[in-house]
């Protein structure tokens, strides 16, 4: 097995709320309570769990947007601090795709400006001269034509915005892509487009992906390994096959059965699918 790109050890994050009374102490949310996680080279690791279980917080720690109370995040053997303290090369190597395509792009900037901004910070990635070509390339990578470069996010559909979001991340040639609910806000028909794009990109760009979602069905489609979180703790971590066929932890079993429950007329869908092929 390939060695881990990213290692998370005993990560702990506590959010302190306001104090209620003088002696009452603060309300404390233990968002992440000791998580150990590895992301290996070129694999897709899915992080699942119900709302509030701390998935996003783990992601934000990886990116250095949240400072953990304890624990380490190591990238290729180097311990990582807050995002603005990281060496440029690490900043470049870890990128993120957000959930809401409507809010992850600065609405005042054109698509071209959004992507070029990345190169302003890391000029080495795309030398001054061939940025135009580089821009066209990266847009092509995510299936957009060069014409959208002049448009603002508001003039794009949700799926297109999410592609721009991915292009912005890819522009820096990252090694690790963190996707926090990257497809949850999209329409069903568009969701498959983006998932497929992600799967393709991972192959062509040799990416490792940390894929956060609460949709087990999606996980089943794309993940190599799955980590299940619950109230800040990791309850189970296994290969996708193992997890879906023989879940070890009762909580995982509960999640799976709820998902099954919703599957309803599963047979109907299968039937349809067969017909199409």
Residues forming contacts to ligand ATP in the complex (CB under 6 A) are 15, 29, 31, 49, 51-57, 214
Asked if 186 contacts 100 with a C-beta cutoff of 8 angstroms, the reply is: no
Nearest approach, Cβ of residue 138 and ligand ATP (Å)? 28
Nearer to another protein, 19 or 78 (CB): 19
Nearer to another protein, 3 or 199 (CB): 199
The verdict on 187 binding another protein (CB under 8 A) reads yes
- In the list Mg ion, ligand ATP, another protein, none, the entry touching 216 (Cβ below 5 to 8 angstroms by class) is another protein
- In the list Mg ion, another protein, ligand ATP, none, the entry touching 204 (Cβ below 5 to 8 angstroms by class) is none
Nearest approach, Cβ of residue 71 and ligand ATP (Å)? 15
Asked if 232 contacts 31 with a C-beta cutoff of 8 angstroms, the reply is: yes
Nearer to another protein, 127 or 269 (CB): 269
- In the list Mg ion, ligand ATP, another protein, none, the entry touching 14 (Cβ below 5 to 8 angstroms by class) is none
Site for another protein in 135-174 (CB under 8 A): 152-154, 157-160, 165, 168, 172
- In the list another protein, ligand ATP, Mg ion, none, the entry touching 170 (Cβ below 5 to 8 angstroms by class) is none
In angstroms, rounded to a whole number, what is the distance separating the alpha carbons of residues 30 and 12?
Answer: 8
Nearest approach, Cβ of residue 67 and ligand ATP (Å)? 11
The verdict on 201 binding another protein (CB under 8 A) reads no
Nearest approach, Cβ of residue 117 and ligand ATP (Å)? 25
Asked if 232 contacts 11 with a C-beta cutoff of 8 angstroms, the reply is: no
Structure tokens at 204: 């062509």
Backbone angles phi, psi at 164, to 5 degrees: -60, -40
- Smallest Cα–Cα separation from 67: which of 55, 49, 80, 51? 80
In angstroms, rounded to a whole number, what is the distance separating the alpha carbons of residues 150 and 169?
Answer: 18
DSSP 3-state of 132: helix
Nearest approach, Cβ of residue 161 and ligand ATP (Å)? 16
Closest residue to ligand ATP, based on beta-carbon distance: 56
The verdict on 230 binding another protein (CB under 8 A) reads no
In angstroms, rounded to a whole number, what is the distance separating the alpha carbons of residues 254 and 271?
Answer: 27
Edge-to-edge strands, sheet with 4-19: 26-40, 4-19, 70-75, 78-79
In angstroms, rounded to a whole number, what is the distance separating the alpha carbons of residues 129 and 75?
Answer: 31
The alpha carbon of residue 119 and the mean position of all alpha carbons in its chain are separated, in whole angstroms, by 22
Nearer to ligand ATP, 65 or 88 (CB): 65
- Smallest Cα–Cα separation from 197: which of 212, 182, 216, 213? 182
Nearer to Mg ion, 184 or 242 (CB): 184
């Amino acid at each position: 097995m390939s060695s881990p790109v990213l290692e998370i050890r005993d990560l702990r994050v506590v959010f302190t709320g306001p104090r209620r009374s003088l002696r009452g102490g603060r309300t404390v949310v233990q968002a992440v309570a000791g998580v150990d996680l590895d992301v290996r080279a070129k694999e897709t690791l899915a992080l699942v769990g119900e709302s509030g279980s701390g998935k996003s917080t783990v992601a934000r720690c990886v990116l250095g947007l949240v400072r953990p109370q304890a624990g380490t995040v190591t990238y290729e053997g180097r311990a990582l601090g807050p995002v603005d303290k990281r060496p440029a090369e690490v900043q470049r190597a870890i990128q993120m795709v957000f959930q809401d395509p409507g809010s992850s792009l600065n609405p005042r900037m054109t698509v071209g400006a959004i992507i070029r901004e990345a190169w302003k910070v890391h000029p080495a990635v795309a030398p001054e001269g061939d940025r135009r070509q580089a821009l066209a390339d990266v847009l092509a990578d995510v299936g957009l034509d060069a014409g959208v470069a002049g448009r603002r996010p508001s003039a794009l559909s949700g799926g297109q915005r999410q592609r721009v979001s991915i292009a912005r991340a890819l522009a820096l040639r990252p090694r690790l892509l963190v996707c926090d609910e990257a497809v949850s806000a999209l329409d069903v028909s568009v969701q498959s487009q983006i998932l497929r794009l992600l799967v393709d990109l991972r192959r062509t760009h040799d990416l490792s992906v940390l894929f956060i979602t609460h949709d087990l069905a999606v996980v089943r489609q794309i993940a190599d390994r799955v980590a299940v979180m619950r109230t800040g703790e990791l309850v189970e971590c296994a290969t996708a096959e193992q997890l879906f066929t023989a879940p070890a932890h009762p909580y995982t079993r509960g999640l799976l059965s709820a998902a099954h429950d919703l599957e309803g007329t599963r047979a109907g869908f299968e039937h349809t699918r067969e017909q199409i092929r």
